[in-house]
Structure 1
Amino acid sequence: MTQNSRPKPEFPVWPQFGEEERTGLVRALDQGQWWRMGGSEVDTFEEEFGAYHGTPHALAVTNGTHALELALQVLGVGPGTEVIVPAFTFISSSQAAQRLGAVAVPVDIDPGTFNIDPVAAANAVTPRTAAIMPVHMAGQMCDMDALAKLSADSGVPLIQDAAHAHGAEWAGRKVGELGAVAAFSFQNGKLMTAGEGGLVTFVDAGQREEAFLRHSCGRPSSDRYYFHKTSGSNFRMNEFSASVLRAQLARLGGQIDTRERNWPVLSGLLAQIDGVQPQLIDERVTRNPHYMAMFRIPGMSAERRNRLVDALIERGLPAFAAFRAIYRSDGFWETGAPEESVEAIAARCPHTEAVYADAIWLHHRTLLGTEQQMHEIADILSETLATL
């Protein structure tokens, strides 16, 4: 069968929803109280999500970017401080720090896992470093052993950007059990979603209490007389979003199981295609939710990679170009940028330079398909590559 005559694969749709979400929305509606201070959906969702991720200290917020910003503020990030971030990530990772007045310091990544390089992070620590932000790229957890040691040795706390890592585990430990704050996203494409939303898991009750104040304009939940104890903003999640997310959380484990079964099949097939390198999985990752099916074609130019993405979309694959290096976006330089040139940062981030130009990711709904569809994906990629 030629590529032009091949039928387009029909992958499962995303988001997935059913009667559970409808029931939750009606339950929230019937409360008659639709914000977290009067209802019970947000409180219950925090308890359920926290338990699933190994911590009693969870706080739901408006979106994943706000989750990062709030978590960084609780860790003491602000003007005069620096936050170490991977150069290869979605730009919210750096902008959350920059909006607090801190300087974002990009460092290089591992070319196989696409995660922050602990050695590069260690080399970037200065007396002004207030936090180190590992980003669990595509659900593949960072080297949390090396990063925990770096944090202990330097005294600099970690904040996990876990926007891709719902349900992930490192060496049998859940995200909330790793002794570091973690920020999650529930944006429409994420592994569980209410269209938008976010959540932070904290190490202890004190951090969570400060975060609660700051996410609610500095006001305690019991206050009647407008005594605002801290500065803050309104990052509160509403009851309807929480009701949907409770249903989404109940689906998460089964969906991860399916993606965990399909990724070894797909990655093995992709590795057989000349020049294609699937994302490597650290053997210490004991549960990987596979937010993306990522692979590289080393040596491919960004222009050719972009043509390939367009061609794959035309053939029915939900394909995307990899994130740009954050320092190659104008928004990175608006505020809180280091006193370096683009060229200087690029010179110390060679792996980021390569990966952002030659990597592609497929939407995680592809990994919810059948085993036969994993073969179809590999066939389509192989055929399409041959035409470029």
Structure 2
Amino acid sequence: MSKNSRGVLDIPAWPQFGDAERAGLLRALEQGQWWRMGGSEVDSFEREFAEYHNAEHILAVTNGTHALELALQVLGVGPGTEVIVPAFTFISSSQAAQRLGAVAVPVDVDPVTYCIDPVAVEERITSRTRAIMPVHMAGRLADMDALGKISTNTGIPLIQDAAHAQGSEWNGKKLGELDSVAAFSFQNGKLMTAGEGGAVLFPKGEQYEAAFVRHSCGRPRGDLRYLHATSGSNFRMNEFSASVLRAQLSRLDSQIETREERWPLLHRLLSEIDGVIPQGRDERNNRNPHYMAMFRVPGLTEERRNEMVATLVERGLPAFAAFRAIYRCDGFWETGGPDETVEELARRCPVSEAINNDAIWLHHRTLLGSEQLMHDIAEIVADVVATL
């Protein structure tokens, strides 16, 4: 088993940084203006991140949750409206809608990719539906062909929760070419990070301009008279974060290439373990950045799964329990919950219910390690599963 000089598994650290980040921070410091209205780092990052995704318009914001909230507001989500979200996702997907006064409507996910099920989406559309939110789970893109058709037929816009999907592609198209809004996160564990941060990709210039005003407390560009033309908040990214993200973006392609090389090996090794099923992939998702290495151990209770995660961590793996089904979080019901019980939602979302209990993920830094590390990971997982 491959171990470093300290006798632990040789798993790369995260975040990764170096001279490019140091130079960026110094550049932001010495320009003398540390907020986006006076500096140039945020503007430069937006331009570079947009070019990377073949997008026309990117707005950098404070974090991924705010990115979702701002995008939903621009799309007309508010009190009396509904947003369809996957039941299996991080809670920000639903809370962004709920904080705007909308009702978040959970639907089930695909058992292979863990992404939102288009059939389940169609079943829950009502006259109040204002947005459909596919979450690209662990970098796997949801079925953008089927979802795009639903959006075209109904006129209901998509908002891609792409917190895990920087650099992902669908049928050779980057996210900026999929003709829908997308929201990104740059939180500490994400594929590129400044500790916190987010961005929104808009396919239309008027959407970007509306979001720009709202993300700066409702003030139009160049306003010197505190006009506050619309409602909004302070979602502006600072110059230091943007300088770090510019450096992080320069590393992203090489990191994705490494993870794309390692995942097929780890997927095969995990598949050979009796009782383990790795997350699958839609082949139309031709490029996957692999935010997580996810797998299931069907039949586990949530308690036993959590015990397994604790054991994996003790063995040196950065392992985590999968997200809870959002309807099983108390915070989901504080405001903007649907007119259904937990039990009713659980019956309607059997895949999400099962993943809630038996799914585990490893941080993407594991996939930046050596081929030997993939064998070491599988060996540890096999040993732990054998004790269940």
Which category of TM-score, normalised to the shorter sequence, fits these structures?
Answer: over 0.9
2: CA distance, partners of 1:209 / 1:136? 26
Q: Tell me the TM-score normalised to structure 1 length.
A: 0.98
Identity %: 72
**In the TM superposition, what is the alpha-carbon distance from 1:229 to its structure 2 partner?**
1.3
Partner of 1:182: 182
Q: What secondary structure, in the 3-state scheme, does the structure 2 residue paired with 1:294 have? A: strand
Which runs of 4 or more aligned residues in structure 1 lie more than 4 Å from their structure 2 counterparts after TM superposition? none
1:13 partner letter: A
1:369 partner letter: G
**In the TM superposition, what is the alpha-carbon distance from 1:8 to its structure 2 partner?**
3.4
2: CA distance, partners of 1:120 / 1:139? 21
Matches within 5 A, 1:209-224: 209-224=209-224
Partner of 1:245: 245
**In the TM superposition, what is the alpha-carbon distance from 1:9 to its structure 2 partner?**
1.1
1: CA distance, partners of 2:54 / 2:268? 32
Q: Could you list the runs of 5+ residues in structure 2 that have no partner in the other structure?
A: 2-6
Q: What secondary structure, in the 3-state scheme, does the structure 2 residue paired with 1:343 have? A: helix
Partner of 2:40: 40
1: CA distance, partners of 2:46 / 2:162? 16
Partner of 1:87: 87
| Cα-to-partner distance string for 1:123-161 (whole Å, 9 max, x where unaligned) | 000000000000000000000000000101111000000
**In the TM superposition, what is the alpha-carbon distance from 1:10 to its structure 2 partner?**
1.8
Partner of 2:356: 356
Partner of 1:62: 62
Q: What secondary structure, in the 3-state scheme, does the structure 1 residue paired with 2:52 have? A: helix
Q: Tell me the TM-score normalised to structure 2 length.
A: 0.98
Contact 1:37 1:221 (8 Å CA) reproduced:
no
**In the TM superposition, what is the alpha-carbon distance from 1:221 to its structure 2 partner?**
2.3
Partner of 1:198: 198
1: CA distance, partners of 2:37 / 2:123? 45
Q: What secondary structure, in the 3-state scheme, does the structure 2 residue paired with 1:29 have? A: helix
Partner of 1:15: 15
| Cα-to-partner distance string for 1:22-60 (whole Å, 9 max, x where unaligned) | 000000001000000000000000000011011120000
Q: How many residues align?
A: 383
2:289 partner letter: P
Q: What secondary structure, in the 3-state scheme, does the structure 2 residue paired with 1:285 have? A: coil
1: CA distance, partners of 2:326 / 2:385? 28
| Cα-to-partner distance string for 1:229-279 (whole Å, 9 max, x where unaligned) | 111100000000000000000000000000000000000000000011000
Is 2:92 the counterpart of 1:109? no
2: CA distance, partners of 1:229 / 1:53? 31
Q: What secondary structure, in the 3-state scheme, does the structure 2 residue paired with 1:287 have? A: coil
2:281 partner letter: I
Is 2:297 the counterpart of 1:264? no
Partner of 2:4: none
Matches within 5 A, 1:309-324: 309-324=309-324
**In the TM superposition, what is the alpha-carbon distance from 1:356 to its structure 2 partner?**
1.3
Q: What secondary structure, in the 3-state scheme, does the structure 1 residue paired with 2:229 have? A: coil
Q: What secondary structure, in the 3-state scheme, does the structure 1 residue paired with 2:286 have? A: strand
Partner of 1:4: none
| Cα-to-partner distance string for 1:295-339 (whole Å, 9 max, x where unaligned) | 011111111111110000000000000000000000000000001
